[in-house]
Amino acid sequence: MQPTATVLVYSDDSNTREQVRLATGRRPAPDVPVVEFVECATPSAVVKELDKGGIDVCVLDGEAVPMGGMGVCRQIKDEVFNCPPVLLLIGRPQDAWLATWSRAEAAVTLPVEPVEFAQALASLLRTKRLQSA
């Protein structure tokens, strides 16, 4: 059985969640595990899933409503023990400083550009794997 990585995707927009799934495919790079997704449409669902454990990377939509991914990121970094790395989806490149404020490990702009997204996600999965070893 192949190792898997669990990626939590938070967005109130099902199209954004679909963009993330399509950009990732089965795995974002040959040297990282096959990805399984946990999709969340509300901030409370994100916290609930993180409390269960087993999430390797979070992908949070900075443009989500009613609470954007930047606020969710800041909250989970403060409240979740051993919070997984976060890839933030931001509306404009100029918002990168907000991603830093939120303590996200990486950020890419919306709409999701598949190559850029897959590279960023694969990098976080590699980092997570090294931390777990």
**Domains annotated on the chain, with CATH:** 4-112 (3.40.50.2300)
pTM to 2 decimals?
0.95
Q: Residue 90 phi/psi, 5° resolution?
A: -115, 155
pLDDT tens sequence across 44-102: 999 999 999 999 999 999 999 999 999 999 999 999 999 999 999 999 989 888 889 99
Q: Tokens for 116, please give them.
A: 């850029």
Bridge partners, residue 40, by sequence: 10
With beta carbons less than 8 A apart as the criterion, state whether 59 and 9 touch. Answer: yes
Residue among 93, 31, 90, 35 at smallest CA distance from 62: 90
Residue among 46, 41, 45 at smallest CA distance from 15: 41
- In this structure, how many other beta carbons lie within 10 angstroms of the beta carbon of residue 126? 13
pLDDT tens sequence across 2-60: 689 999 999 999 999 999 999 999 999 999 999 999 999 999 999 999 999 999 999 99
